[in-house]
Structure 1
Amino acid sequence: MLYRSVFPGDLLAQLERLQRGMRAAPELSPSIRGLARGGFPAINVSAGPQSTEIHVFAPGMNPADIELHLEKGVLTIQGERKAEAPAGDEKAAVHIDERFSGRFRRVLTLPEDADPDGVVARYRDGVLHISVSRKQASQPRRIDIQ
């Protein structure tokens, strides 16, 4: 006996493809801003026994246009990327503009053992690297048994 689908083009297979596409959709973003992943600028945060390291990816920005504030364990990164007008002819039209411009603000809660006096920030090659050291009292240490 041959099995024959009642639905032309196997409707169940089409529904399954559609479902897979919908599950993958939140991971995709048509914008360079990466809104589906958290906004501009993109941030990587890692923590080690000595410090918390934050990398803020803001290529093409002037470090003077980025502000850092630390208050009560909350680090705020804010600034503005200015839009670049096309050079040359005044009649030139921009057809595609995927680069984010405008004000931005990212807020991170630091670990409780973060040392507010041990924050160092450096901007190089479009990446702002913020290192927040941990308080000495919270550092792991070996205790000798007597």
Structure 2
Amino acid sequence: MMFRSLFPRDIFSELERLQRELHQPFEQSPSIRGRVSFPAINVGGTPHAVEIYAFAPGTDPASIDVQLVKGVLTIVGERKPDLSDKDEQTSLHIDERFAGRFRRVVSLPDDVNPNAVEAKYRDGVLHISIQRLEAAQRRQISIQ
């Protein structure tokens, strides 16, 4: 069986290895958890509202733009680099903190009220609360 010696025994594992090697130079910032989008977000809800938390420490709130169009929430902004006043003698050894423009998009349920949105930024956390439509909320009906 001459052809067996020409190919690795597990061709699929070899293809996966080659794919990892090809993608490795393009990885921007490897981390323990893999590639993570910035800002990290948590999305949850209560019976009365949808709550979104975007964790963006070091971001100027004036540089953040929040829009809600047709049930899609978009968060766009920019975080400036920490060492903006570098000179010839400044050297950077490790740079793991994200700097630059960012954009996160979240699809929302159909029962949100686009006219009842509140956004607050405090201690590096952007909290967006979107009220649900009153018609979509659960009601207790009394029986007579």
Q: Within 2, Cα distance between the matches of 1:96 and 1:45?
A: 31
The Cα shift of 1:145 comes to 1.1
- In the alignment, structure 2 segments of 5+ residues that lack a partner are 1-28
1:31 aligns with 2:26: no
Return the match for 1:110 from 108, 111, 116.
Answer: 108
1:58 aligns with 2:56: yes
- What count of residue pairs does the alignment treat as equivalent? 116
TM-score, normalised via structure 2 length = 0.74
Who is 1:123 aligned against? 121
Q: Within 1, Cα distance between the matches of 2:87 and 2:137?
A: 60
1:91 aligns with 2:89: yes
TM-score, normalised via structure 1 length = 0.73
Report the secondary structure of 1:36's partner residue.
coil
| Amino acid corresponding to residue 44 of structure 1 in structure 2 | N
Q: Deviations over 1:8-54 (max 9, x none)?
A: xxxxxxxxxxxxxxxxxxxxx8338x6534x0100001111000000
- In the alignment, structure 1 segments of 5+ residues that lack a partner are 1-28
Q: Within 2, Cα distance between the matches of 1:101 and 1:88?
A: 15
Q: Within 1, Cα distance between the matches of 2:72 and 2:34?
A: 22
Contact 1:83 1:102 in 2 (8 A): yes
Q: Deviations over 1:53-95 (max 9, x none)?
A: 0000000111011110110010000111122326575311111
User: Considering only aligned residues, what root-mean-square deviation do their CA atoms show, in Å?
Assistant: 1.9
Return the match for 1:133 from 125, 131, 134.
Answer: 131
Q: Within 2, Cα distance between the matches of 1:109 and 1:46?
A: 12
Identity in percent:
58
Runs (4+) of structure 1 exceeding 3 A deviation are 29-32, 34-37, 86-90
Contact 1:52 1:134 in 2 (8 A): yes
Q: Within 1, Cα distance between the matches of 2:45 and 2:86?
A: 47
Report the secondary structure of 2:35's partner residue.
helix
